[in-house]
Amino acid sequence: MYVRNAWYVAGWASEFDDNLKRVTVLEEHLVMYRIDAHTVIALEDRCPHRLMPLSKGKRIGNDIQCGYHGMTFNCEGACVRVPGQENIPASAFVHAYPVKQKNDIVFIWMGDHEQMNEDLIFDMPEFNSENWHVHQGDALHLKANYLNVAENLVDPAHVSFVHPTTLGNAASENVPVHVDTQGEVLVAWRWIRNAEPVGFFQKFGNFNGHVDRWHYYYLHLPSIAVIDFGSAAVELNLKEEERDHGVRIFALHFLTPVNQHYTIDRWMHIRNTALNDESASEQMDAMFRVAFAEDKAILEAIEEQEKLPQKRKPIRLAIDKGPTVYRRRIRDMADQENTDVADEPVRSSFIYHE
């Protein structure tokens, strides 16, 4: 089950250069390559003649020549040469996919071309603000269905148990989770007031004593998550709308469903502390890596379990509200796409500063 009318992340801008690269999104194999600093091309990675992946061919200027019999395609997917004959058959083409590079991230549109809208590409103003530091992290490869990965990103309750040394601690175990839906964005959040700082903020906050801390999980349908988390000294008695006055970090997760059993999670962060301090970026990445390896272990174990025959239906708990709403929305969106009625596609921009 996939939502097709959406911008997915095909990679960081730095992942694309002159070379032909196979990329797989929603089970479709694409050949991608860069033709200038701002432009990346994505074509169907399958020669229509003998099915040879074009990514194993070679570039002739901005075109690709198939490595088997030399059929050549341009950036729009049109065939421009068939060796051994003059005419070019009407069926000699490959699909071309809309691609946009924004904030050093390469987005691809996997759905109906008529519904494609560049305004829907994910963005947030902190990408281009001098008060915020933007840092690309890495790509986590998970042998897991993207719905389970996304669910984990709208689920504050797991943090106390899965990430006890970095992002959570026992103080939050029983704090209730709030969930709300704001257009195409689900939000699940909780505040933990007057508690010890978690490992992450022991390191980066310079706090002497208890803090108020928060997690806001914003899940932009279908598969981009922004986790707004931070801490402030308890004396500040910070209000919800004053989070910028604390140490505040946006952890971004761009999920790319490769197939039903494989997902890539490209993660990065934007922070209002340690601006331009690359050693802080590296230390944060190190802590994120610890936490995300913990998520990966959980999600891959669940993937294996889901393959087994099930005698009983899983039970749902109070903490599952976010995941439950998420799955229902995805199902509705996928169902809608499978009807003939053209519908407004998914909007990914959102205001984090109320």
Question: Is the peptide bond preceding residue 164 cis, with omega within 30 degrees of 0?
Answer: no
Q: Binder to its own copies among 38, 317, 332, 343 (CB under 8 A)?
A: 317
306 near its own copies, judged by CB under 8 A: yes
- Give the whole-angstrom CA distance, residue 301 versus residue 270: 30
CA distances 234 to 172, 194, 203, 208, 231, Å, are 16, 6, 17, 10, 9
Cβ 110 to its own copies, closest distance in Å?
Answer: 14
- Give the whole-angstrom CA distance, residue 47 versus residue 149: 33
Q: Binder to its own copies among 114, 119, 130, 308 (CB under 8 A)?
A: 308
DSSP conformation class of 288:
H
CB 239 within 8 A of CB 214: no
Cβ proximity to its own copies: between 53 and 98 the closer is: 53
Where in 255-284 is the site for its own copies (CB under 8 A)? none
Token pair recorded at residue 310: 């099930």
Cβ proximity to its own copies: between 70 and 98 the closer is: 70
Where in 12-51 is the site for its own copies (CB under 8 A)? 29, 46, 48-51
Q: Can you say how many angstroms the Cα of residue 235 is from the centroid of all Cα atoms in its chain? A: 36
Cβ proximity to its own copies: between 143 and 245 the closer is: 143
Q: Report the run of H or E that residue 299 belongs to, with start and end.
A: helix 278-307
85 near its own copies, judged by CB under 8 A: yes
Q: Binder to its own copies among 5, 136, 160, 231 (CB under 8 A)?
A: 160
Where in 167-226 is the site for its own copies (CB under 8 A)? 173-177
Find all residues with CB under 8 Å of 31, minimum gap 6, and list them: 20, 21, 22, 23, 42, 43, 44, 45, 53, 54, 55, 64
89 near its own copies, judged by CB under 8 A: yes
3-state class of 343 per DSSP?
A: coil
- Give the whole-angstrom CA distance, residue 205 versus residue 199: 10
342 near its own copies, judged by CB under 8 A: no
Token pair recorded at residue 117: 């809208």
- Burial string for 170-193 (b: 16+ CB within 10 Å, else e) reads ebbeeeebebeeeebbbbbbbebe
Stretch that binds its own copies, among 13-21, 34-42, 82-90, 102-110 (CB under 8 A): 82-90
Token pair recorded at residue 33: 């390559």
297 near its own copies, judged by CB under 8 A: yes
Q: Binder to its own copies among 1, 60, 290, 302 (CB under 8 A)?
A: 302
Stretch that binds its own copies, among 129-137, 178-186, 271-279, 300-308 (CB under 8 A): 300-308
Stretch that binds its own copies, among 6-14, 127-135, 152-160, 332-340 (CB under 8 A): 152-160
Stretch that binds its own copies, among 32-40, 87-95, 275-283, 341-349 (CB under 8 A): 87-95
Count of other CB atoms within 10 angstroms of residue 348: 21
238 near its own copies, judged by CB under 8 A: no
Write out the residues near its own copies by the rule CB under 8 A. Answer: 29, 46, 48-53, 56, 65-71, 82-85, 89, 91-92, 157-158, 160-162, 173-177, 297-298, 301-302, 305-306, 308, 310, 312, 314-319
